[in-house]
């Protein structure tokens, strides 16, 4: 038993070390962002605008973010409950916060879903069911972002710079391809098999010895997509409720710039214009391989919202908007992740102690 005790802290230390590296990269990118984005802005004036924001509207923005997480948690909770999983809403909320943290600190949000699934399985939830819940959630996000982003692009085209227009079109293509691939993977085995065969044919030119290994990995993923199709066919009501709730989730998120606008005491720009500009911003930056779209989101905000906030308020507006919708919650969710890791470690130690005591009693 002694080797296990030594191995466990090592695993915990490795986890903390990995997260610490993510945080260092994240902080470095924020520092670079502040340097590049605010080199043409008066940072002192921006901080002054930031600190004088109206508390009520800032609180409303934070409440909207909590609601944003709550809707995603409800989707995860309802899907997992439909499988008979023993999960509470607050567990689902915790998993959502963990997913947000790892999406925020890993390139292209690549760590979010895998690590969310990992922590679900640690709490006795089926990995297959967890994967399915997050696939359906992702499908809802892609549909919502495309719908609202396209409307936003059409509505806001006249006030957008050409660079942002092209970035938005690229984002539209990336999100469209991702959604198409997701739907094909779920609903069409024949087309998916052709894509897989073509991919493996190309892959063989570079790593012939690992083709079979890659085939097994892809087939395992396709099995999850196949399970998604079966679930959708037998739980159509729950699926469409999930898509509808995800649409509401994105609406809630796109509401935040309006809270920032009012927090700074401004008027004259309509809610819908602010809302659809955020839809454009999200679609333009969501496909970029940057942790939390750091730098790109701030730069896009400065470009898109310049007319609405004015030159004097713009620096403070971008700081406040990203603080409410991103920076502050990265800190909050980081604490949730660390507390959860320590909690799981204590549970594991308690189980080992109980097993040891049981062995002593039986000897």
SS3 for 195-214 is HHHHHHHHHHHHCHHHHHHH
Tell me the angle at which helices 271-285 and 296-304 cross, rounded to the nearest 10 degrees.
150
DSSP annotation of 1:
-
| Total domains in the fold of the chain | 1
Judged against a pLDDT cut of 50, whether residue 5 lies above it is answered with no
- pLDDT value, residue 3: 45
CA 156 to chain centre: 25
> How far is the C-alpha of 159 from the C-alpha of 154, rounded, in Å?
11
Q: pLDDT above 70 covers what percent of the chain?
A: 78
Give the least confident one: 3-17, 40-54, 227-241. Answer: 3-17
> How far is the C-alpha of 224 from the C-alpha of 338, rounded, in Å?
29
- pLDDT value, residue 236: 83
- 62, 222, 245, 257, 271 from 252: Cα distances, Å: 11, 32, 10, 11, 13
Average pLDDT along the chain: 81
The whole-number average pLDDT for the span 226-247 is 82
> How far is the C-alpha of 259 from the C-alpha of 266, rounded, in Å?
10
> How far is the C-alpha of 68 from the C-alpha of 213, rounded, in Å?
39
Question: Could you tell me which of 262, 260, 256, 264 has the C-alpha nearest to residue 49?
Answer: 264
Residue 41 in tokens:
């802005």
The pLDDT tens digits for 276-310 are 999 999 998 887 777 788 888 888 998 899 889 98
User: Could you list the residue range(s) of the whole structural domain that residue 170 is in?
Assistant: 2-362
Count helices and strands (H / E) in the chain.
15, 0
Whether residue 109 contacts residue 116, with contact meaning beta carbons closer than 8 Å, is answered with no
- pLDDT value, residue 1: 43
The pLDDT tens digits for 69-121 are 999 999 999 999 988 888 999 999 999 999 999 888 887 666 777 888 888 88
Tell me the angle at which helices 256-263 and 306-322 cross, rounded to the nearest 10 degrees.
100
Tell me the angle at which helices 189-206 and 162-187 cross, rounded to the nearest 10 degrees.
110
- 34, 228, 322 from 313: Cα distances, Å: 16, 47, 14
- Report residue 332's pLDDT band, with 50, 70 and 90 as the boundaries: very high
- Give the containing element (helix H, strand E) for 227: helix 211-234
> How far is the C-alpha of 231 from the C-alpha of 235, rounded, in Å?
6
Question: Could you tell me which of 304, 290, 292 has the C-alpha nearest to residue 257?
Answer: 304
Using alpha carbons only, what angle is made at residue 35 by residues 145 and 26, rounded to the nearest 5 degrees? 55
CA 91 to chain centre: 17
The torsion defined by the Cα of 42, 161, 263 and 290, in degrees rounded to 10, comes to -80
Whether residue 61 contacts residue 263, with contact meaning beta carbons closer than 8 Å, is answered with yes
- pLDDT value, residue 206: 52
* Start-to-end Cα distance in the chain: 16
């Amino acid at each position: 038993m002694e080797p296990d005790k030594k191995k466990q802290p090592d695993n915990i230390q490795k986890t903390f070390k990995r997260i610490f590296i993510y945080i260092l990269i994240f902080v470095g990118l924020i520092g670079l962002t502040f340097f590049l984005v605010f080199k043409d802005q008066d940072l002192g004036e921006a901080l002054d605008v930031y600190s004088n924001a109206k508390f009520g509207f800032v609180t409303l923005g934070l409440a909207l973010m909590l609601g944003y997480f709550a809707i995603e948690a409800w989707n995860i909770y309802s899907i997992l409950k439909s499988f008979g999983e023993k999960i509470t809403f607050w567990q689902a909320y915790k998993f959502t916060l963990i997913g947000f943290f790892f999406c925020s600190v890993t390139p292209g949000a690549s760590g979010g879903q895998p690590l969310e699934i990992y922590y679900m399985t640690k709490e006795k939830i089926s990995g297959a069911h967890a994967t399915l819940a997050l696939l359906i959630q992702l499908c809802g996000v892609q549909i919502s972002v495309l719908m609202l982003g396209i409307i936003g692009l059409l509505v806001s085209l006249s006030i957008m710079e050409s660079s942002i227009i092209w970035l938005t079109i690229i984002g539209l293509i990336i999100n469209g391809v991702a959604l198409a691939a997701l739907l094909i993977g779920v609903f069409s085995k024949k087309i998916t098999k052709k894509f897989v065969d073509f991919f493996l044919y190309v892959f063989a030119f570079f790593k012939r010895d690992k083709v079979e290994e890659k085939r097994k990995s892809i087939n395992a993923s396709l099995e999850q997509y196949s399970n998604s199709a079966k679930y959708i066919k037998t739980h159509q009501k729950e699926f469409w409720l999930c898509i509808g709730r995800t649409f509401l989730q994105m609406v809630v998120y796109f509401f935040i710039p309006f809270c920032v606008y009012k927090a700074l005491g401004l008027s004259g720009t309509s809610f819908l214009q602010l809302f659809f500009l955020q839809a454009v911003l999200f679609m333009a930056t969501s496909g970029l391989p940057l942790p939390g779209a750091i730098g790109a989101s701030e730069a896009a905000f400065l470009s898109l919202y310049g007319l609405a906030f004015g030159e004097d308020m713009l620096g403070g507006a971008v700081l406040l908007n990203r603080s409410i919708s991103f920076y502050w919650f990265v800190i909050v969710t980081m604490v949730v992740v660390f507390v959860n890791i320590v909690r799981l470690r204590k549970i594991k130690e308690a189980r080992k102690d109980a097993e040891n005591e049981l062995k002593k009693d039986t000897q």
